[in-house]
């Protein structure tokens, strides 16, 4: 008998089994409007990404038309820092690669790429690349494979990948590969499903997945499918951690890139995501019974999209690398590598 897994107990005979589309849309729209709550004030530092989670989820649910798009475009413009060429999470904060990607994704999604100053954006991203190929997120110098992903995702969306040194950037990503087949945030750091998504997404966007040999791909896919917990059916982000709905995205998208999504028990995971919906307020939380938020709502719905649990008329197909509706990626003819 193996070591017991850390897991949560879900009473599947009592939890929600239907997808609460209308409630989720109302939850997301309401979240964007509740400006005088404590949560709103306390989340300034990530607002641009919050708007991306909210809009992408609404778009996947065929409901982007329900929000005031002009208001969002106006907000993004206020977060543009013309001195650097990057975007900040909210006005008067410093620009950062994380929020620059969210801003670019939003402008692409809202069909307003005409507002992007491509040249300044490219030079902003270029000056964040270090000699070892890694990227710092902003002027304060933190290095993380998340930022490598953000850099290439932004550049890919504006068709300017040749701005940076791809060979060196790829070498840095490969230097973060661990003995277990996973990737961490810097060389030698513990494998984590979120970082694995960033590194595989990076390799997919620059079409260098061939850097991973067959045995590494299989070991990594095995590590990823071991994230599914027997009892709850939810996924965790690394061994000995509790399941969390957001890993339905980071793990599944990684498996999709590796061509191994069928290694997950689809039915059990769908049930876990549905059980994490709040049937009073709408929205999904990290695990059943907790408080919902737009982050877990997007990654729950996007996970269901990857699992093909629902027809495309209900949940649109999501692109597994950029986490944007597939119809947009196809319209832009953006090519990426999937195994
Ligand atoms: C376009 C979808 C998209 C993403 C942009 C920012 C980024 C690129 C990716 C983030 C990847 C990542 C690191 C996700 C993990 C997020 C998370 C829930 C971290 C929590 O980590 P811990 O250690 O939690 O607090 P665990 O679950 O390990 O206990």
H helix count then E strand count, the chain: 14, 0
Q: What is the pLDDT of residue 254?
A: 98
Q: What is the pLDDT of residue 251?
A: 98
Indicate which atom in ligand 1 lies nearest the CA of residue 246.
Answer: 18
Q: What is the pLDDT of residue 15?
A: 83
Q: What is the pLDDT of residue 1?
A: 52
Distance 233 CA to ligand 1 centre (A): 19
Distance 194 CA to ligand 1 centre (A): 5
Ligand 1, atom 24: nearest CA belongs to which residue?
Answer: 237
The residues of the chain scoring below 50 in pLDDT are none
Burial (Cβ within 10 Å: 0-12, 13-18, ≥19) of residue 337: middle
Ligand 1, atom 5: nearest CA belongs to which residue?
Answer: 150
Q: Which of 53, 199, 237 to mutate to test the pocket of ligand 1 (most atoms within 8 A of CB)?
A: 237
Q: Which residues contact 192 (CB under 8 A, 6 or more apart)?
A: 182, 183, 184, 185, 237, 238
For residue 91, what are its two tokens? Answer: 């006005």
Q: Is the CB of 124 under 6 A from ligand 1?
A: no
Q: What is the pLDDT of residue 241?
A: 96
Q: Which fold has domain 1-33+226-339?
A: Glycosyltransferase (1.50.10)
Burial (Cβ within 10 Å: 0-12, 13-18, ≥19) of residue 62: middle
For residue 231, what are its two tokens? Answer: 């009892």
DSSP code of 4?
P
- Give the helix ranges, DSSP H, for 61-165: 69-78, 97-109, 118-126, 145-157
Q: What is the pLDDT of residue 166?
A: 98
How far apart, in Å, do the first and last CA atoms of the chain sit? 35
Q: Which residue pairs, CB below 8 angstroms and at least 24 apart, start in 174-180?
A: 174/211, 175/132, 176/145, 177/212, 177/216, 180/219, 180/223
């Amino acid at each position: 008998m193996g070591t017991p897994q850390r897991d949560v107990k879900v009473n599947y005979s009592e939890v929600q089994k239907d997808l609460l589309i209308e409630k989720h849309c109302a939850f997301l729209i309401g979240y964007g409007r509740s400006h005088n709550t404590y949560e709103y004030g306390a989340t300034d530092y990530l607002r641009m990404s919050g708007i991306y989670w909210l809009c992408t989820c609404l778009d996947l649910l065929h409901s982007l038309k329900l929000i005031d798009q002009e208001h969002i475009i106006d907000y993004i413009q206020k977060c543009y820092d013309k001195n650097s060429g990057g975007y900040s999470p909210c006005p008067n904060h410093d620009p950062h690669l994380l929020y620059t990607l969210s801003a670019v994704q939003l402008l692409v999604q809202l069909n307003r790429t005409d507002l992007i100053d491509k040249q300044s954006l490219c030079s902003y991203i270029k000056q964040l690349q270090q000699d070892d190929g890694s990227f710092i997120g902003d002027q304060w110098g933190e290095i993380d494979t998340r930022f490598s992903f953000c850099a290439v995702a932004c550049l890919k969306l504006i068709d300017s990948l040749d701005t940076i040194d791809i060979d060196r950037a790829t070498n840095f990503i490969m230097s973060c590969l661990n003995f277990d087949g996973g990737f961490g945030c810097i060389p030698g750091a513990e494998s984590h499903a979120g970082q694995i998504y960033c590194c595989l997404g990076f390799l997919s966007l620059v079409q260098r997945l061939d850097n991973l040999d067959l045995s590494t791909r299989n070991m990594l896919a095995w590590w990823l499918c071991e994230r599914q917990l027997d009892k709850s059916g939810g996924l965790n982000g690394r061994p000995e951690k509790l399941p969390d709905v957001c890993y339905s995205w980071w793990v599944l998208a990684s498996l999709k890139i590796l061509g191994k999504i069928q290694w997950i028990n689809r039915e059990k995971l769908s049930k876990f995501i549905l059980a994490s919906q709040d049937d009073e307020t709408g929205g999904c939380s990290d695990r059943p019974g907790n408080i919902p938020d737009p982050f877990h709502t997007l990654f729950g719905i996007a996970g269901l999209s990857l699992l093909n649990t629902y027809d495309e008329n209900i949940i649109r197909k999501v692109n597994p690398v950029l986490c944007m509706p597939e119809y947009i990626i196809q319209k832009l003819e953006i090519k990426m590598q999937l195994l």
